[in-house]
Structure 1
Amino acid sequence: MSSENDYDKLTKEEREARDKVDREREEAEQAALPYKWRQELGEVDITVPVPKGTRARDLAVIIQKKKLSVGFKGQEKIMEGELCREIKLEDSTWTLEDQQSLLIHLEKLNKQQWWDNILTHHPKIDTRKIQPENSKLSDLDGETRGMVEKMMFDNQQKQMGKPTSDELKKMEALKKFQAAHPELDFSNAKIS
């Protein structure tokens, strides 16, 4: 696997090509799972297809703070393992829809973090490429939206080992100050 620095050195076309390959691999890995899932910053929704006519009492669903187990009573599990992050147990639920889909709603404990996967042993997604639904952002007032966008930017920057918006502002201010005062030595200056 190549490092982020290699990615930064690629041309726009090379990045798009690599992103396309990564996206196709990720989609194939996710499609092979026995469930579909989607997430927002505060919650995860999982859909598990089950045979038509399934009744709730046929299912064995165990939701714990850091574990999930789904299957039919007395049979092998459809999915089972450790959740990638902790959930709020009291706000997490499951329901059976149209006797053919098991819907599991998990409320994240940390509402500021994207999940890489549902179960730790399942393939991960690249959370840096998540595009939140704009309709949700546009519902926010200007100040809150700006704060959320800044948090999302800073989170992406941190994951890539790059400076946050505040660090970038400090660096810019230092550059302007250096330009205005060329007689001063900034070689040992530290930004914190």
Structure 2
Amino acid sequence: MAVIDDDDKLTPEEREAKDKADRSREVEEQAALPYSWKQELGEVDIAVPVPKGTRGRDLNVIIQKKKISVGLKGQEPIMGGELCKDIKVEDSTWSIEDQSVVTVHLEKVNKMQWWENVLTHHPKIDTRKIQPENSKLSDLDGETRGMVEKMMFDNQQRQLGKPTSDELKKQEALKRFQAAHPELDFSNAKIS
């Protein structure tokens, strides 16, 4: 069963207006969180504001494979809950900067997947709209960059319910073979 995406029915102007509205809503939702965050394919960095003068010993920070909690000792956590994806606990760290911001660095287990949110109960972002920094992508050698770009394309295609690059190649090969052999019946052919 094919997934029908309502965006496919929009005119370019309607799609642009919808994207702009979605992006505006997304920015507002993210700004309302008690922390800010950014990500690259392999990591997530979180900044949690705390009262000026806060020291490390005043904090209660818990980082687990699937959970995180950041807050002041004896108080409700400023942020806490289930992470949307697993992390490598041994490679994740936290520190306090300027006695006013707790910075948390999380290493993703799956370094080839964008996160939609940090905590499962918080608003999601549209990962199809993520534009990785070109400088970071261009820093990769040709083979690795090609692999990352292919994975990003395939991920986006899957989210849209469209064929991946490998599936497109198979479809193209079948079309070429059909054109070369019109005498054969391909009505029951399955591509796997």
Where on the TM-score scale, by shorter chain, does this alignment land: which range?
Answer: over 0.9
**In structure 2, what is the equivalent of residue 117 of structure 1?**
117
SS in 2 for 1:91: strand
**In structure 1, what is the equivalent of residue 128 of structure 2?**
128
**In structure 1, what is the equivalent of residue 7 of structure 2?**
7
The answer to whether residue 188 in structure 2 is matched with residue 181 in structure 1 is no
Which is further off, 104-113 or 7-16? 7-16
- Measured in 2, the distance between the counterparts of 1:72 and 1:78 equals 8
**In structure 2, what is the equivalent of residue 170 of structure 1?**
170
**In structure 2, what is the equivalent of residue 154 of structure 1?**
154
Deviation at 1:70, TM superposition (A): 1.0
- Measured in 2, the distance between the counterparts of 1:28 and 1:124 equals 12
Question: 1:55-74 to 2 correspondence within 5 Å?
Answer: 55-74=55-74
Deviation at 1:4, TM superposition (A): 4.9
- Measured in 1, the distance between the counterparts of 2:55 and 2:21 equals 40
**In structure 1, what is the equivalent of residue 106 of structure 2?**
106
**In structure 2, what is the equivalent of residue 96 of structure 1?**
96
- Measured in 2, the distance between the counterparts of 1:166 and 1:34 equals 41
Structure 2: gaps spanning 5 or more residues:
none
- Measured in 2, the distance between the counterparts of 1:16 and 1:8 equals 12
Q: 1:13-64, CA deviations, whole angstroms, 9 ceiling, x for partnerless residues?
A: 2111111111111110000000000011111000011122111111111111
* One-letter code aligned to 1:11: T
Quick one: structure 1 residues 13 and 4, their matched pair in 2 at CA, closer, same or farther if it must change by over 3 Å? farther
- Measured in 1, the distance between the counterparts of 2:147 and 2:76 equals 46
- Measured in 2, the distance between the counterparts of 1:13 and 1:68 equals 41
SS in 2 for 1:90: strand
The answer to whether residue 63 in structure 2 is matched with residue 28 in structure 1 is no
Q: Aligned Cα RMSD in Å? A: 1.2
- Measured in 1, the distance between the counterparts of 2:143 and 2:91 equals 28
Number of residues paired by the alignment? 190
Q: List, as ranges, runs of 4+ consecutive aligned residues in structure 1 with deviation greater than 4 Å.
A: none
SS in 2 for 1:124: coil
The answer to whether residue 20 in structure 2 is matched with residue 47 in structure 1 is no
Deviation at 1:107, TM superposition (A): 0.6
**In structure 1, what is the equivalent of residue 139 of structure 2?**
139
* One-letter code aligned to 2:13: E
Scaled by the length of structure 1, what TM-score is found? 0.95
* One-letter code aligned to 2:116: D
**In structure 2, what is the equivalent of residue 76 of structure 1?**
76
